[in-house]
Amino acid sequence: MSAPAFTQDWIFCTAHALLTLPLDDAINRILEHTARSVGADRGWMYEYDETGLLFRNTHEWNREDVTSHVNDLQYISVSMFAWLQAYLLDNKAIMINDVAGLPPVGRELRAEFLRQGIQSTLTLPVFFEGRLYAGIGFDATETPKHWGAEISAQLACCAHLIATARYGHRPMEIAAAAFQKNPANPEPQIYLRTQGRVRGVTLLEITALRSARDYTTVYLHDGTEFIDQRPLSVWEGLLPSDRFMRIHRSCIVHLMHVHNLNRHAGDNQQRWEITIRGINTSWTVSRPFRRDLRYRLGV
């Protein structure tokens, strides 16, 4: 099926803007053109920092009577939308038709959307050479809207052109420096949440995580345990895979905190266990994860 008539010139207009305008002006022009043509009230782009744990709004177009929020979300932890992050990392578009109907796990995100007057929103990941750099999308504030697969596919093509222009012609270090990391918070934090309590921790402070039904027990380097209200599946999408790995369907560990790997033979099979700094008990390594664990530990 061909693209709708109003999106057929998106790729040309995107390429023309990127070739003829300063990059930031070009992105704003692209957001305006695409958002207007599908009846969106706001078009926007945000970028991650080099750790993937912080994001900030960078570009925005909005209709004259719609409030701008480009300056609101600056250097914010991705914990705000952690349950959606797994979809973005899997290079999937996210269409939320009814913001008010978001599930309880997305209550922080729902509160932020409602603050901005958003009724419906579309988010697409912006990848370049396998790395997630940014997100781009539309908001509807006046009436709910649904932007389907064809519009998402066309916007994804525009996102690819933007990514090539923005991240493809300079070293990764320069691209990361452009984020201008917040000097007041040089070490990105993830926020643990339970009833009536919030605690910000860095990645290095997290030693391991274990599923506790619909919640997750987060183990910290100082020996404390924290029951977070998000399931382990959300955490798996939030934590960077170069530092954390699953060793069991119910466990994730920070590889830097693995102290020992023990392999015990018996009953015609081998049992693998690891010990983790700050945790007194050993944790079992399931068979499907053993080969990868050995490789990651270099043993």
Strand 269-276, strand 258-266: pairing: antiparallel
Least confident of 145-149, 152-156, 187-191, 207-211: 187-191
Phi, psi of 99 (to 5 degrees): -60, -40
Rg (CA), the chain: 22
What tens digit of pLDDT does each residue of 166-209 get? Answer: 998 654 444 455 555 455 555 677 888 777 777 888 888 999 99
* Average pLDDT estimate for 276-283: 90
Report how far residue 89's alpha carbon sits from residue 84's, in angstroms, rounded to the nearest whole number.
Answer: 9
- Tokens, residue 111: 């509160």
Angle of helix 10-20 relative to helix 149-167, nearest 10 degrees, comes to 20
Cα–Cα dist 122/95, whole Å: 5
Handedness of CA 72, 78, 83, 88 (dihedral sign): positive
Q: What is the pLDDT of residue 234?
A: 85
Tens digit of each residue's pLDDT (9 = 90 or more) over 69-115 = 888 788 787 877 877 888 898 999 999 999 988 887 777 788 888 88
**Which phi and psi (to 5°) does residue 221 adopt?**
-65, -20
- Supply the pLDDT for residue 103: 83
**What pLDDT digit, counting tens, does each position of 8-58 carry?**
689 999 999 999 999 999 999 999 999 999 999 999 999 998 888 888 999
Average pLDDT, the chain: 86
Rounded to 5 degrees, φ, ψ at 38 are: -110, 10
CA 19 to chain CA centroid, nearest Å: 29
Per-residue pLDDT for 4 more than 70? Answer: no
pLDDT value of residue 139 = 97
Q: Which CATH class is domain 5-177?
A: alpha beta
Query: What is the mean predicted confidence (pLDDT) over 200-225?
Result: 90
Nearest to 37 by CA among 57, 11, 59: 11
Question: Which of these, 232, 236, 242, lies nearest to 210 by C-alpha position?
Answer: 232
Q: Please answer whether residues 230 and 237 qualify as being in contact, where contact means their C-beta atoms are separated by less than 8 angstroms.
A: no
**Segments making up each domain of the chain, as ranges:** 5-177, 192-297
Tokens coding 237: 């999408």
192-297 sits in which CATH class? mainly beta
The predicted pLDDT at position 1 comes to 43
Whether 33 and 59 have beta carbons less than 8 Å apart is answered as: no
Q: Does residue 268 have a pLDDT over 80? A: no
